[in-house]
Every structure is written in structure tokens, then in C-alpha cells.
């Protein structure tokens, strides 16, 4: 693996500065560099989601060509490329060895070659990658979460602003926003069907994610990056990495209004005490409080052999709404139990991941840029403030999370990088770098 010794802090700072410096530069928004109809796409992060996103980009537009790929590890890039090379659109997967780049800053080599980037790597790198992509004038698909700490949040906010100034399309990986039943139900709520929303309870109860035991020759950094979901500095913990989908639905239903504060609990009860399980918790409960009265509760768990559930229960002054995206079931009832609205059983349910890419590439073709940056950043900050509260045992305000100095990235990525201590409410402080 190349460039493992890059200081991540330097990487982040450079990228933020690069974003600012190019504010006044030529607007590259519509710079589809090919002379023909092709849209050259670069994939950053060739894991499960990145490979899926590349396939969806290919399906979204007949002119899309996967033109360059980057990953921290050669084996991840190789397996992703091998899969794409067997896909229906394999003739549009054109990534010879000279357009394959390895290393944590391999994005730098991809950006000059492409029109669009798919940012699908480990979340901690996303703020810097987003800043670089915007600075280079590229259209962007940006997976969630987009940041894992306060410093990352503010970097993303800046990038979102610059992307808008440059008319770049920026589509978020908060995929439920592209799901037809969810869209229809939230539109009903925003149209007043529920009256005023007074409370939301959301669950994300699921099994633990896989791990990769340490192999001979791996540095501490490689070991952690191979197990990134389990390290707070890389993933933001599972509340930020996974349950953020449900937190985004809360944010969506609340119309983007910020909670003023939250109180959370969490712990690590079932995860095995092995290094590859990192330093994260396995359960969280967060209560978000809104200035005008409502409360939203998020319950998240990653524990084996338990009841799994991913639903949203939204209470309004006129009734209640139920979202079960896994079922799928979407309805609104009044307080007599009468159904006021339900998504039709035969209603359209196009693949939400595909819809994201259809939307992105259509916006590029039409020259009508779109920018989903605000909710993309704010939903992540909601998750971050929940984690801060659970880790510290303190109530955390939006203001503190948004303006704080928390930067989870270790100052150096060189050995030794011991596995961080599991946070302990009451003694852990906000901003503690856990690795």
C-alpha cells in the first residue's frame, strides 16, 4: 500500500485550503472533458458500496464510462474491477493499469482524468475528498456519512457552498430520500396530513458487521483501515456510519430543522474483546430535542442473535405514521385507527440506489446542477452529536457539535497506532482522539 504515511491532518487541511483557493477559479461545472458523449467517472473506494455505485452509474446513462479507480488497497480495487468487468456494461469499464491508483490520497491522481467522482471510501476521508473534488470542479456522488467529527462537518459545509457556487451537482448517498414510498409519505407529512409532528421513534437494530483479523505485514494503520467500521476515528461509530440513515429520515421529516440538543446513552456490551473489533460501542439510544417541543428518539444496535428492526414511527397532532422500509410498509392513520393514507401495494418501488444515479447523471446532462449538501452534512452532525453525548454522558447542543474542535484523526498514521480505549461516559471528553 502506498502513501500510508501521509499525515491525515495535513491531507484534510490541504484539501480545505484547496477548496477555498479555487473559489475564484474558472467554473468547471459543466466541463465534461470528452469531445464525444462520454461522461468519464472515477470511483474512489472500490468496496461493496463503491462497486455498486459504479454499476448504478453505468446503468444510469449510456455515455458513462468508468474511467479511473482508486482504493487504499490493490486487492480491493482488483476485485471490484473484476466484478465490473463481468457486468452487462463491461465495454464501458475502461480502467487499464495506468488509470488504477492505490493509496489514501489516490484521489489526487483520479480527479484530473474524470468528469464525475463517486466518493465511496471510508468516511473519515470524505471531507477532504469532497473538498478536493469540488476544487477540481467535478460532479459528485457522495456516500454517507460525509464526516465523523466537528472539523469534518465544517469542511463539508464549506465544500457544499463552493459546489453550489460552481454549479456542480452533488448527490448524497442518503438513499431513502430516493425511495418512492418514503418520498410519498414524507410529502404527505409535509403537506399537513399528520398535523404537527410532535415525536419520532426510529430504530436501526441489526447484526454486527464483519471483521478482518490481523495479517502478517500489515501496519497498525492498514489493520485499522481494513476494519474501519469498528474504529471511531474512521467510521464515527455505528451510530454515524449506519444508523445515520434513520437519523437522516428524522431530519427529513422535521424539514431540516436542527435539534437544539440531545441526550444519549450507549455501551459496548456484546462485541468481542479483540483488536479487530476496535473501540466502538454496540448500542446507542439518543433523544433529540427541538426548540418548538418535539422529541425524536433514535435506538441503534449492532448485536448478534437479537431482534432486528429498521422502522420509523412518527407521531403528529392528527395521527401517526409508520415507515418500515424493509417490509416495505408505509401508512398514516388517525387516532381512531382509520387509515388516512397508505402507499399503494402496487405503487412503484424503483431501486433507490439506481434512482440516486439516474438523478445525478440527468442533472449533468440537463446542465441543471443539484446540491443535496445541506441535509447530507446536517444529518451527519445529528449523528455525531448523539455519539458525543453517549460517549461523554453529557447533554450536547447542536451549537457545541457544530462549532467544536473535535477532530478524531490521529496526528500520525505511522506505527504504533494502538487500538483506542472504549469511551467511558462520565470520564471521556468530547474531542478525545480514540486511537
Ligand X SMILES: NC(=O)c1ccc[n+]([C@@H]2O[C@H](COP(=O)([O-])OP(=O)(O)OC[C@H]3O[C@@H](n4cnc5c(N)ncnc54)[C@H](O)[C@@H]3O)[C@@H](O)[C@H]2O)c1
Backbone angles phi, psi at 177, to 5 degrees: -70, -15
Torsion of CA 161, 163, 164, 169, to 10 degrees: -140
Q: Which is nearer to ligand X, 26 or 215 (CB)?
A: 215
Q: Which is nearer to ligand X, 72 or 383 (CB)?
A: 72
User: Shortest gap between Cβ of 282 and ligand X (angstroms)?
Assistant: 17
C-alpha closest to that of 239 among 24, 414, 384, 357: 384
Q: How far is 382 from 244, CA to CA, in rounded Å?
A: 8
Range list of β-strands (E), 317-356: 319-324, 329-334, 339-342
Output b/e per residue, 81-92; b: 16+ Cβ within 10 A: bebbeebebeeb
Q: Which is nearer to ligand X, 101 or 162 (CB)?
A: 101
Nearest-10 crossing angle of helices 352-366, 48-60: 50
Q: How far is 392 from 361, CA to CA, in rounded Å?
A: 42
Residue ranges in contact with ligand X by CB under 6 A? 44-50, 70-73, 76, 104, 106, 120-123, 125, 143-144, 173, 175, 225, 241
User: Shortest gap between Cβ of 125 and ligand X (angstroms)?
Assistant: 4
User: Shortest gap between Cβ of 333 and ligand X (angstroms)?
Assistant: 28
Q: Which is nearer to ligand X, 38 or 238 (CB)?
A: 238
Which grid cell sits at 210? Answer: 464483519
Contact 319/195 with Cβ under 8 angstroms?
A: yes
User: Shortest gap between Cβ of 87 and ligand X (angstroms)?
Assistant: 17
Q: Which is nearer to ligand X, 330 or 357 (CB)?
A: 357
C-alpha closest to that of 143 among 164, 159, 127: 127
User: Shortest gap between Cβ of 386 and ligand X (angstroms)?
Assistant: 16
User: Shortest gap between Cβ of 185 and ligand X (angstroms)?
Assistant: 19
Q: Which residue is nearest to ligand X (CB)?
A: 47
Q: Which is nearer to ligand X, 117 or 287 (CB)?
A: 117
Amino acid at each position: 500500500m502506498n502513501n500510508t504515511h501521509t499525515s491525515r491532518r495535513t491531507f484534510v487541511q490541504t484539501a480545505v485550503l484547496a477548496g477555498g483557493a479555487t473559489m475564484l477559479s474558472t467554473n468547471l461545472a459543466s466541463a465534461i472533458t470528452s469531445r464525444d458523449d462520454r461522461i468519464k467517472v472515477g470511483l474512489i473506494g472500490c468496496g461493496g458500496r463503491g462497486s455498486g455505485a459504479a454499476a448504478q452509474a453505468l446503468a444510469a446513462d449510456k455515455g458513462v464510462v468508468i474511467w479511473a479507480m482508486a482504493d487504499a488497497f490493490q486487492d480491493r480495487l482488483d476485485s471490484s474491477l473484476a466484478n465490473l468487468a463481468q457486468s452487462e456494461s463491461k465495454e464501458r469499464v475502461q480502467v487499464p493499469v495506468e488509470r488504477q491508483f492505490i493509496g489514501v490520497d489516490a484521489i489526487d491522481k483520479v480527479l484530473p482524468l474524470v468528469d464525475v467522482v463517486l466518493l465511496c471510501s471510508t468516511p473519515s476521508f470524505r471531507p477532504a475528498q469532497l473538498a478536493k473534488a469540488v476544487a477540481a470542479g467535478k460532479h459528485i456522488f457522495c456516500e454517507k456519512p460525509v464526516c465523523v467529527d466537528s472539523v469534518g462537518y465544517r469542511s463539508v459545509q464549506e465544500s457544499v457552498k463552493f459546489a453550489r457556487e460552481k454549479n456542480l451537482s452533488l448527490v448524497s448517498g442518503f438513499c431513502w430520500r430516493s425511495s418512492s414510498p418514503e418520498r410519498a409519505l414524507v410529502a404527505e407529512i409535509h403537506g399537513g396530513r399528520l398535523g404537527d409532528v410532535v415525536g419520532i421513534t426510529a430504530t436501526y437494530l441489526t447484526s454486527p458487521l464483519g471483521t478482518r483479523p490481523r495479517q502478517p505485514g500489515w501496519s497498525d494503520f492498514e489493520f485499522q483501515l481494513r476494519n474501519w467500521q469498528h474504529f471511531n476515528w474512521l467510521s464515527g461509530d455505528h451510530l454515524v456510519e449506519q444508523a445515520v440513515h434513520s437519523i437522516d429520515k428524522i431530519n427529513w421529516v422535521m424539514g431540516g430543522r436542527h435539534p437544539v440538543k440531545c441526550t444519549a446513552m450507549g455501551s459496548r456490551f456484546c462485541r468481542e474483546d479483540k483488536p479487530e473489533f476496535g473501540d466502538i460501542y454496540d448500542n446507542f439510544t439518543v433523544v433529540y430535542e427541538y426548540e418548538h417541543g418535539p422529541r425524536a428518539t433514535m435506538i441503534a444496535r449492532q448485536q448478534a442473535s437479537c431482534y432486528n428492526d429498521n422502522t420509523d414511527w412518527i407521531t403528529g397532532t392528527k395521527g401517526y405514521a409508520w415507515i418500515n422500509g424493509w417490509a416495505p410498509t408505509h401508512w398514516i392513520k388517525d387516532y381512531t385507527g382509520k387509515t388516512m393514507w397508505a402507499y399503494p401495494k402496487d405503487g412503484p418501488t424503483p431501486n433507490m440506489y439506481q434512482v440516486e444515479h439516474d438523478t445525478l447523471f440527468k442533472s449533468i446532462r440537463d446542465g441543471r446542477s443539484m446540491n443535496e449538501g445541506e441535509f447530507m452534512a446536517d444529518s451527519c452532525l445529528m449523528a455525531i452529536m448523539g455519539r458525543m453525548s453517549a460517549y461523554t454522558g453529557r447533554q450536547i447542543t447542536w451549537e457545541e457539535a457544530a462549532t467544536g474542535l473535535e477532530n478524531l484523526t490521529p496526528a500520525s498514521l505511522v506505527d504504533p497506532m494502538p487500538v483506542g480505549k472504549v469511551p467511558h461516559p462520565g470520564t471521556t471528553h468530547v474531542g478525545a482522539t480514540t486511537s
